[in-house]
Structure 1
């Protein structure tokens, strides 16, 4: 199974992000959506699980959950906007992957048998940080990679 991971769109869904997510079977949005229409556009590609971030305080985005669990291909994913707000012990909860955003810094790391994926920011560029999404593939194991978006 191929999963697209996106975060911190802040109301901007770039065509490059849509192209990078084309062909995925599910999309995880880790908050700071900024405009509910972004989720509608992503749903044209695949089903979406989305949470709110710290900028999603008004309108329909404010109604998104603060955290969420989703099971994909037999693996449990836990979404939280800022990894610093993690309110569970993922290893004890048998979570395979924690998906977060907020920092705008893409990262993939494993801790205590749990994969932590931050796709970085796919929205407006912040400082000199890259504009990125992530792709996760599940076979028997979970593999993730950061996908830089070509922004001109």
Structure 2
């Protein structure tokens, strides 16, 4: 399982609760699209995960920015993820960011709005913010391999586990 988070915005902890916390603990890979805000929040999220790949966001402290890149590529379960906090140019800018990294999925944050957009180049995925939704539904994403191994089935959940949106992603990279 792959769990995806963004926009924790915490001064002292991970703010994970309910199904969001369970997903972080049980996932083989956790991806975070930035804005932990504090080093304590970053370390708290890291303490709940076996394997965390994260980038920094615009609201992250200098200490977090020193520890995390602005962008990165993650390969997990036959899927290539390009991760950033935000990109200028909206959906087009995000799609170009993904194309330049041969990504299947572009994971991004910043808006705090759970979003899934299919483009010609890549699936654009914003898991939302489980802790600070700012008028949006709180959210995080989970992707699990389909039984036949040809696709990942994805869902955006709210912290209590209610599915907000479902999507499917074909596996196209070799494992």
Residue aligned with 1:46, SS: coil
Higher helix share: 2
1:130-149 equivalent positions in 2, closer than 5 A: 130-138=137-145, 139-149=149-159
Contact 1:98 1:114 in 2 (8 A): yes
Contact 2:109 2:127 in 1 (8 A): yes
- The aligned residue for residue 105 of structure 2 is 97
Deviations 1:43-82 (A, max 9, x none): 33320000000001422x1111000111112321110101
1:37 aligns with 2:45: no
1:22-101 equivalent positions in 2, closer than 5 A: 22-43=25-46, 44-59=48-63, 61-63=64-66, 64-84=68-88, 86=94, 88-91=96-99, 93-101=101-109
| Deviation (angstroms), 1:109 | 2.0
Deviations 1:105-149 (A, max 9, x none): 0011211141111000122241x2111111122432233211112
- Rate the CA distance shift 1:141–1:134 in 2: closer, same or farther, 3 A: same
Distance in 2 (CA, whole Å) between partners of 1:45 and 1:90 is: 25
Where in structure 2 are there 5+ consecutive unaligned residues? Answer: 161-175
| Root mean square deviation, CA, Å | 2.1
* Among 84, 91, 110, the residue aligned to 2:118: 110
> What TM-score comes out, normalization by structure 1 length?
0.84
Bigger Rg, which one: 2
Residue aligned with 1:14, SS: coil
| Deviation (angstroms), 1:36 | 2.6
Equivalent residues, number: 147
Distance in 1 (CA, whole Å) between partners of 2:118 and 2:142 is: 16
- Rate the CA distance shift 1:142–1:48 in 2: closer, same or farther, 3 A: same
Contact 1:135 1:146 in 2 (8 A): yes
> What TM-score comes out, normalization by structure 2 length?
0.74
